[in-house]
Amino acid sequence: MQSFGGAVMALYRGFATTLQFAFQKKPTVQYPSVRKQHAPRFHGLHELRRYADGKERCIGCELCAIACPANAITVIGAENAPDDRRSPGERFAGRYEIDELRCIFCGLCEEACPTDAIVLTPRFEMADYRRGSFIYSKDRLLVPPDAGVGAPPDERPGGIPADLGWVTEQKSTVDIARGYDATYNGAKLKDEHKGLTLQ
Amino acid sequence: MIPWWAIALIKAAVILFVVVTTFAYSMLFERKIMAWMQLRPGPNRVGPWGMMQPAADAAKMMFKEDLTPETADPLIYRLAPFISLVCAMGTFAIIPFSESSAGIWGMGNVNAGILVIFALTSIGVYGISLAGWSSGSKFPLLGSVRSTAQMISYELALTMSVIGVLILAGTTSLVGIVHAQRGLWYIAPQLVGFIIFIIASVAETNRAPFDLVEAESELVGGFHTEYSGLRFGLFFIAEYLNMITVACIATLLFLGGWNPLFGLSIVPGIVWFIVKAGLFIFMYIWLRTTLPRLRYDRLMNFGWKFLLPVATLNLMVTAAVVAVTAG
Amino acid sequence: MTEAGPPQSVSLTIDGTPVTVPAGTLVVEAAKTVDTDVPVYCYHPKLGPAGLCRICLVEIERLPKLQIACNTPVAEGMVVHTHGQKVEDGRRAVMEFLLLNHPLDCPICDKGGECDLQDFSMAYGQGASRLADAKASKPKALDLGPTIVLDDERCIVCQRCTRFDDIITRERSLVVKDRGQRDVIATASGEPYRSNFSGNVTELCPVGALTSKTYRFKSRPWDNHRTATTCTQCSVGCQLFVDERYGTIARTMSVPSDDAISDGWLCDRGRYNIGFYADARRITAPLLRRGEQYVQIGWDDAVEAWAAGLRDALGAAGPQAVGVLGGGRLLNEEIVLLVALMQELGVTNLDWRAGRQRQATPGRYAGTYAELEAAQLILAVGRPPSQTAPVLDLRIRKAVSQRGARYVTYGGHAAGSFVGVTPLRSADDVENVLSGVERVAVVWDGIDLELGARLASAIDGWVARGVSVTTYLSGEANNARGAEALGMVPRSGGLPFTGMLDAAQNGRLRSLSIFGANPVLHHPLGGASVANALERIPFLVVSELFLTETAQRAHLILPARTGFEKAGHVINLAGDVLPVHQAHAAPPGTLADGDMLVALAAELAAEVPGPEDVLARATAALPAATHGFGDAAYSEGVTASKSDGMAAGKPGGGGLRIAVGSDIFAGGGTIWFDETLAELRPDPAATLSPATAARLDVHIGDRLDLLSSSGDDSLQGLVVRIDAGAPDDVVAVIDGLPEAPANSFADGDNVVLGARRAADALEPALVLP
Ligand code: SF4
Ligand code: SF4
Ligand code: SF4
Ligand code: SF4
Ligand code: FES
């Protein structure tokens, strides 16, 4: 049994803590009217990139799918038709789907990808009303052919190994150096949210 | 001359308006205070500082669908929220807010005021019990069973703690009790009674840490699990009104009512009353943010094995002292 | 040592463990007994050593250099180290050479995940290549034939593929062309690689150089859910793995340990004919005929209609008016149920013989595949096993090429076995080749009963002479033997199917239920007359996968399940009871025949045995057959086919006779409704000898029609082929092709040439220079 004095002290400490907090500065950020800059390697919504010439980088190898700890990725390979080449080699992703509800945004898919096709962008605003709409397939994952040429996804401190130089030029909607605000959809989203400023 | 019933109607309307507004803003007050204590800004989207939040909530409540479960007893199920609300509101007819309210308004000076209030709050329990029982579903039923047991247990201690004051004041009229405190507030001689009153009243109003009746983590929503829309809103209002009532009673019985502090009688009595009651409500919220919910058996143990004996002892000592000094 | 003869076993030490193995064992095999891994590429237990890749290097004490484990026989007192610094260094050097020109293809390579080169690279390879120049570039995604794609950059020239084609199939079309860095796998002739066993090379290839077209980029090994089951395409009963992914069958693989049945091989029919189950034309709801149309109904209604139809027929004319055909494509369990239910209803008109095959039980001399392999003389009578039981034919080739057996045929016309075959033309010839032979294996197609009866009495004679004979019946339906053994034959007083057709013509058959059979395409009475008879049956029920020629005549069509979609047992031609497991989920709306029968029995309130009872009966060991194989009494009431094959008779009026043969890719069911295999389906062809072609003045690629001598039946639009090995005055056609159903023709029938169109008017590309 706690002593009476101890009980009183415990009560005192409890009430003092809550009271103290009431006067502290609140860390809340007034999103969406105020937006923070993401950490440069924030893991958000995926994107499938293209080469500068517009070809898909993804070769449908399924390595991301097997690397994924959440089993969120489905890839079914297909063969390039000679007159309709989607990717440089023989194989491309006939079906590529990520269930963003399953995804834990660990980035292992990005690590596994031999062609740097799948990358995680800083985009995170994916809310929707239907579960089905969280299954992103190529129509939403693949960057539009008219997207700009962005920086490589892999800005590791040591830089990019020289023999991977071909990685540096690629179509992407993300400019890591400038962060979220420079993204293709990000800019659009920001415009959409302008009307929402409340405070 | 304005006929007496018109006056009564006007008074009632004013009181109703004041009471409902107080409810609305005490709710906002609670949400804000709790948010601050939890390092959040609290409601701030509707109106400046979220001032219009109560209106938004009210609108939301009104437009939500009113559901009645298939297994419910339709009549009692629909009636229960009204029992709660009417009892909660009724008490305000008797509570004197200041000298002038007791005089000019001729309101609240009932001879046995305190007894009427206890009577009304006791009936209010029926609202909760019946709501739980008539919902025809297990969580509400458990909630109402808990509420009945809890009310019976703590009502005893509550009443005992109040009787001490009554003995000191020698009257059951609330105005009389306030007048009796012109010199010394009863919080001083009746400190033990005051603490018992606080604890028991929190339990009586089903608020944290005694909110076992509607414990979300155990009973979904307790007695009001099945309620939605306006009917749920009525329970909600009743709960807050009860809290305000208790704050008012505590002010009247222990904090000297509208008697000014430090002899500052330039400040009107009603302001003093509001400040004191407000402080009491703040304490309620503070309790809620600080203390975790009690386990049910501990609640019962505490009520019967600690609170009731202490209250009885307090009563006996008070009675003895009064008998000796008066004699 | 003064022992007489070489020691039968030798003792040696491998990695410190003493082992004793038979003399002559290779070190690589001996190492398997001590649980160590010697990596191999070119060595394969069934192909033997080649010593090409050098990855299997091991250290043998007292020998200065590393030795290849796959081509070094064990010796007494040998001390072998399969691991250690020296060995690893050696293997690392080998890997470096193997990987010199190997592309960085793993992500797009179908072998990735089950590739020996990948595995051993992880074990022995180094991270980076020291090759300063660009890697050699060679053909990629090259079409090697209708089934195989070659990526020559990946080939490590282990020659497993070419050795398979040489040693196992004896077809000898694959070779390594050019040498050194420029070598490439190709066919010697430059023609596409066509073989009935082509798929096996994709499994043998230790890298991703040879891959199957049907599996290309479909899946990854780790995605596949593997089920071991029995192939239901023919009566050999090869064990196979079915790899399923996302509800689709991605591929099938052989079971390497299945020495007893398939010897670890699969034919291309079993391996590649897997697309049919998902064909859009599959029936997925019961169909009820309403006038000229079919309406989809639910299963409850279907079973009710079926029961009502049976009850009507039984009530109006008794059990004699009801018949059941099928069983050759059912599982044992389903056959047991069917037979039990019919017995309960008193129905005696049962038969499984929907096609030409008359018998499926090999009689009292039934033998195992091992006995076939050990025979000194193999006699194939009737249609060649290469087309009716392909993997069995691999065993014949093995017996001939590796065990020195002699292969002779009697009757039939095109053995097509790629090993030396002696066609015999008379019974005397048979007796001649028999002299001095102790072990004979006889494979018969079960079609011509009269021929079978003669054969049976001849065999009795040989056995009496002390020759040990084993008999095999390679037929049409995969579970024909099961159907016959489990009682799908006319019961006392019952009619065989031909009799049922007669009864139907005369209006005496009121109801017929057909399970997985297509007599309109296959029955020797001919499509027109079978169809005619079927159309006279007031209530015809057909359980089928597709709207076949027979199903189109039904009043009620029941959507059945494929062999991949149900579980049970079958009996192969050697009498083994083999399990069939469900490999993937059946399309909704279909029902296994067994389940249909249970529902029907419930609707008819008929007692049928419970599941345990059915299972016990379906898996019971076959009693030693005391009859069958040409035994006429066993197949009572069955009309014999019209002739004794090619051996008897002389050319008739027109001087042209017909030979009707089979092809593993012929048929109107699973193969016809499998679009992925369209390229493998045989064209309706008329094969002639050069002399006959010259006499008739037809040329390769011409189209011609053939008319039966009566003029009633015809085969239209046959493409002319010329085969130097074909007998003169014979036109060979393929049975079971829906475009040109030859079932009304029997071997040896006289035929007359009908209309013909010159090739250049049609397809100039087909004319060879
Ligand atoms: S981020 Fe992680 S969890 Fe999400 S898809 Fe990629 S690998 Fe899977
Ligand atoms: S995204 Fe990368 S890892 Fe995934 S399938 Fe495509 S190429 Fe392979
Ligand atoms: S053959 Fe093996 S090592 Fe070569 S690309 Fe294919 S998976 Fe990789
Ligand atoms: S294709 Fe495959 S099996 Fe054939 S030689 Fe090359 S690596 Fe060996
Ligand atoms: S496995 Fe021994 S040399 Fe190839």
CATH code assigned at C599: 3.40.50.740
Query: Which residues from chain A sit within 8 angstroms of residue B289, using beta carbons?
Result: 18
- Of C200, C266, C210, residue with least CA distance to C239: C266
**ipTM, two decimals:** 0.81
Are C338 and C485 found together in one domain? yes
Residue span of the structural domain in which A138 resides: 46-149+162-192
Q: What chain A residue is nearest to C112 in terms of C-alpha separation?
A: A61
Place of tokens 């019962």: B300
Q: What chain B residue is nearest to A197 in terms of C-alpha separation?
A: B45
Q: Which residues are paired to C177 by β-bridges?
A: C184
Question: Is C154 inside a domain boundary?
Answer: no
- Helix or strand (DSSP H, E) at B325: helix B308-326
Distance CA B94, CA B108 (A): 4
From ligand 1's centre to the CA of A107, what distance in Å? 5
Q: Is the minimum distance from the CB of C115 to ligand 3 under 6 angstroms?
A: yes
From ligand 5's centre to the CA of C683, what distance in Å? 42
Structure-token pair, residue A65: 């799918």
Distance CA B281, CA B25 (A): 12
Q: Is the minimum distance from the CB of A63 to ligand 2 under 6 angstroms?
A: yes
CATH code assigned at C35: 3.10.20.740
Distance CA B132, CA B145 (A): 8
- Of C158, C183, C163, residue with least CA distance to C173: C163
From ligand 1's centre to the CA of A69, what distance in Å? 7
From ligand 5's centre to the CA of A179, what distance in Å? 55
Residues whose CB falls within 8 Å of the CB of residue C158, separated by 6 or more in sequence, listed in order? C41, C42, C50, C52, C53, C205, C206
How sure is the predictor about C412, in pLDDT bands with cuts at 50, 70 and 90? low
Residues whose CB falls within 8 Å of the CB of residue C85, separated by 6 or more in sequence, listed in order? none
Query: Which residues from chain C sit within 8 angstroms of residue A77, using beta carbons?
Result: 108, 217-218
Are B122 and B205 found together in one domain? yes
Q: Final residue of a domain: which of B63, B86, B109?
A: B63
Backbone torsions φ then ψ of C366, nearest 5 degrees: -50, 140
**Chain C: nearest CA to A164, how far in angstroms?**
14
Task: Taking residues B70-95, report their average pLDDT.
Answer: 85
Question: Is A41 inside a domain boundary?
Answer: no
Residue span of the structural domain in which B18 resides: 1-63
**Chain C: nearest CA to A21, how far in angstroms?**
53
- CA-CA-CA-CA torsion sign (B169, B173, B174, B180): negative
Contact C223 A62 (CB under 8 A): yes
Are B195 and B231 found together in one domain? yes
Contact C80, C13 (CB under 8 A): yes
Q: What chain A residue is nearest to C218 in terms of C-alpha separation?
A: A77
More confident residue, B152 or C296: C296
- The answer, yes or no, to whether residue C707 has pLDDT greater than 80, is yes
**Is residue B306 less than 8 Å (CB to CB) from chain A?**
no
Q: Cis peptide before A32, with omega less than 30 degrees from 0? A: yes
Question: Is C127 inside a domain boundary?
Answer: no
From ligand 2's centre to the CA of A65, what distance in Å? 8
Query: Which residues from chain C sit within 8 angstroms of residue A59, using beta carbons?
Result: 107-108
Residue C621's CB is within 10 A of a number of other CB atoms, namely 8
Q: Which residues are paired to C443 by β-bridges?
A: C380, C472
Question: Is C210 inside a domain boundary?
Answer: no
Contact B39 A24 (CB under 8 A): yes
Are C494 and C579 found together in one domain? yes
Contact C383, C412 (CB under 8 A): yes
**How many domains does chain C contain in total?**
4
Question: Is C126 inside a domain boundary?
Answer: no
Contact C192, C146 (CB under 8 A): yes
**How many domains does chain B contain in total?**
2
Q: Is the minimum distance from the CB of A112 to ligand 2 under 6 angstroms?
A: yes
Residue with CA at minimum distance from ligand 2 atom 4: A64
Question: Is A120 inside a domain boundary?
Answer: yes
Are B179 and B104 found together in one domain? yes
pLDDT tens for C471-489 read: 999 988 899 999 988 989 8
**Is residue A26 less than 8 Å (CB to CB) from chain B?**
yes
Atom index in ligand 1 nearest the CA of residue A105 equals: 1
Distance CA B104, CA C594 (A): 95
Question: Is A27 inside a domain boundary?
Answer: no
Are B51 and B174 found together in one domain? no
Distance CA C708, CA B155 (A): 110
Q: Which residues are paired to C406 by β-bridges?
A: C377
Q: In a 3-state reduction of DSSP, which class is residue C62?
A: coil
**Chain A: nearest CA to B114, how far in angstroms?**
31
Are C669 and C698 found together in one domain? yes
How sure is the predictor about C649, in pLDDT bands with cuts at 50, 70 and 90? very low
How sure is the predictor about A194, in pLDDT bands with cuts at 50, 70 and 90? very low
Mean pLDDT of chain B: 82
Say what the pLDDT of residue B105 is.
52
Q: Is the minimum distance from the CB of C211 to ligand 4 under 6 angstroms?
A: no
**Residue A103 Cα to chain centre, angstroms:** 10
Contact A18 B40 (CB under 8 A): no
Question: Is C685 inside a domain boundary?
Answer: yes
Are C494 and C588 found together in one domain? yes
**Chain C: nearest CA to A43, how far in angstroms?**
24
Q: In the A/C pair of chains, how many CB contacts fall below 8 A?
A: 34
Task: Taking residues B240-260, report their average pLDDT.
Answer: 84
From ligand 5's centre to the CA of C125, what distance in Å? 16
**Portion of chain C with pLDDT greater than 70, in percent:** 93
- Which residues' Cβ are closer than 6 Å to ligand 5? C 40-43, 51-56, 68, 70
Q: Which chains touch A (3 or more CB pairs under 8 A)?
A: B, C
**Chain A: nearest CA to B290, how far in angstroms?**
6
More confident residue, C521 or B120: C521
Q: What chain B residue is nearest to A26 in terms of C-alpha separation?
A: B39
Q: Which residues are paired to C757 by β-bridges?
A: C703
More confident residue, A151 or C260: C260
Distance CA B242, CA C240 (A): 77
Q: In a 3-state reduction of DSSP, which class is residue B186?
A: coil
Number of H helices, E strands in chain A: 5, 8
The maximal CA–CA distance of chain B, rounded, in angstroms, is: 65
**Chain A: nearest CA to B104, how far in angstroms?**
40
- The answer, yes or no, to whether residue C764 has pLDDT greater than 50, is no
Are B195 and B290 found together in one domain? yes
Q: Which of residues 235-254 of C touch A (CB under 8 A)?
A: 246
DSSP B164-178: HHHHHHT---HHHHH
Residue span of the structural domain in which C467 resides: 369-473
Q: Which ligand is nearest to the CA of A100?
A: 1
Most A CBs within 10 Å, among B36, B285, B310, to test the A interface: B36
Say what the pLDDT of residue C211 is.
94
Query: Which residues from chain C sit within 8 angstroms of residue A65, using beta carbons?
Result: 223
Which of C95, C96, C109 to mutate for ligand 3's pocket (most ligand atoms within 8 Å of CB)?
C109
- CA-CA-CA-CA torsion sign (C677, C678, C684, C688): negative
Task: Taking residues B24-28, report their average pLDDT.
Answer: 86
Contact C246 A76 (CB under 8 A): yes
Q: What chain A residue is nearest to C140 in terms of C-alpha separation?
A: A90
Say what the pLDDT of residue B107 is.
58
How sure is the predictor about C310, in pLDDT bands with cuts at 50, 70 and 90? very high
Contact C723, C688 (CB under 8 A): yes
Q: In the A/B pair of chains, how many CB contacts fall below 8 A?
A: 29
Q: Final residue of a domain: which of B37, B63, B89?
A: B63
Contact B33 A24 (CB under 8 A): no
Mean pLDDT of chain C: 88
Query: Which residues from chain A sit within 8 angstroms of residue C107, using beta carbons?
Result: 59, 61, 63, 114-115
Are C468 and C525 found together in one domain? no
From ligand 1's centre to the CA of A27, what distance in Å? 30
- Helix or strand (DSSP H, E) at A126: none
From ligand 5's centre to the CA of B287, what distance in Å? 81
Q: Final residue of a domain: which of C473, C502, C526?
A: C473
Say what the pLDDT of residue A165 is.
36
- What Å distances lie between residue A196 and A30, A31, A179, A189, B47, CA to CA? 11, 10, 22, 12, 14
Are B98 and B32 found together in one domain? no
Are B55 and B75 found together in one domain? no
- What Å distances lie between residue C149 and C114, C146, C674, CA to CA? 18, 8, 20
Task: Taking residues B275-290, report their average pLDDT.
Answer: 88
- CA-CA-CA-CA torsion sign (B75, B76, B81, B85): positive
Are C353 and C455 found together in one domain? no
Residues whose CB falls within 8 Å of the CB of residue A157, separated by 6 or more in sequence, listed in order? none
Are B75 and B21 found together in one domain? no
- CA-CA-CA-CA torsion sign (C409, C414, C419, C420): positive
Distance CA B220, CA B145 (A): 15
- Out of A84-88, B208-212, C682-686, which region has the weakest mean confidence (pLDDT)? B208-212
Task: Taking residues B277-286, report their average pLDDT.
Answer: 88
More confident residue, B181 or C189: C189
More confident residue, A145 or C55: C55
Percent helix, percent strand, percent coil in chain B, to nearest 5: 70, 0, 30
Are C499 and C455 found together in one domain? no
- Helix or strand (DSSP H, E) at A167: none
Contact A76 C218 (CB under 8 A): yes
Are B173 and B41 found together in one domain? no
Q: What is the DSSP code (8-state) at residue C428?
A: H
B abuts C (3+ Cβ pairs < 8 Å): no
Q: Final residue of a domain: which of C70, C98, C126?
A: C98
Question: Is C668 inside a domain boundary?
Answer: yes
| Single-letter code of the amino acid located at B80 | A
Are B164 and B285 found together in one domain? yes
Q: Final residue of a domain: which of C34, C65, C98?
A: C98
Question: Is A65 inside a domain boundary?
Answer: yes
Contact B37 A14 (CB under 8 A): no
Are B44 and B92 found together in one domain? no
Say what the pLDDT of residue C708 is.
85
Q: In a 3-state reduction of DSSP, which class is residue A69?
A: coil
Contact A66 C220 (CB under 8 A): yes
Are C488 and C604 found together in one domain? yes
Question: Is C214 inside a domain boundary?
Answer: no
Distance CA C392, CA C262 (A): 8
From ligand 4's centre to the CA of C206, what distance in Å? 7
Q: What chain A residue is nearest to C128 in terms of C-alpha separation?
A: A163
**Chain C: nearest CA to A57, how far in angstroms?**
12
- Helix or strand (DSSP H, E) at C706: strand C703-708
B abuts A (3+ Cβ pairs < 8 Å): yes
Say what the pLDDT of residue C132 is.
82
Are C448 and C493 found together in one domain? no
Structure-token pair, residue B124: 């209010």
Are C328 and C384 found together in one domain? no
CATH code assigned at A126: 3.30.70.3270
The maximal CA–CA distance of chain A, rounded, in angstroms, is: 87
Are B238 and B97 found together in one domain? yes
- Of C163, C178, C659, C139, residue with least CA distance to C416: C659
More confident residue, C734 or C766: C734
Task: Taking residues C145-161, report their average pLDDT.
Answer: 93
